[in-house]
Amino acid sequence: MRITRQFWFSMGHTLHNHDGKCVNLHGHNYRLLVTIYSDVLNDQEMVMDFGNLKRIVSDIIDRDYDHRFLVDEKDTRASALKLVDPTVSVVSFNPTAEMLAYTIKQQIIAQLVNLQVSNLILWETENSYAEV
C-alpha cells in the first residue's frame, strides 16, 4: 500500500558548470510529491499517518530548502555568495532537480522506520520534474 502527500516551497539556486541560463542566479516555486510504501499496515490500519509524514518532510524542507539559496561548493562564486548572505547554503552537490530530489529522498528515508519512500517527484517548473 502507498500514501502520497504533496508539499510546496520556494528556493533559489545556480547550476555549476552549466552552459545554459540556469548558470545564472535564479529561483523556482517547487512542488514535491512524496509516496511512502509498506507491505503491512500499522495497528491503526495505516501505512503512516499523513500528519507524521507532513511533520517529517516539512521539517526537512523548512530547515534546508524553503526560502534558501543553494550553490555547489565547487562553484567559484560560492564563498562570495556566502559572504554577501550568510543564509546561502553551500552544498556538496550541484543543486539540479535530479540531485535535489535524490537528496531530499535520502533525508526522508533517514527519518523512517520500517517504511520506504517508493517514489518522490520534484516539480521544478509547471512543465519539468525529476523523479527518483
Active site residues: 22, 67, 124
C-alpha cell at position 68: 534558501
Tally of CB atoms within 10 A around 80: 11
User: How many residues appear in the chain?
Assistant: 132
- In angstroms, the CA 75 to CA 91 distance is 10
- What does the alpha-carbon distance between residue 107 and residue 102 come to, in Å, rounded to a whole number? 9
Which neighbouring-strand residues pair with 60? Answer: none
In angstroms, the CA 61 to CA 70 distance is 13
CA-to-CA distance for 124 and 24, rounded, in angstroms? 16
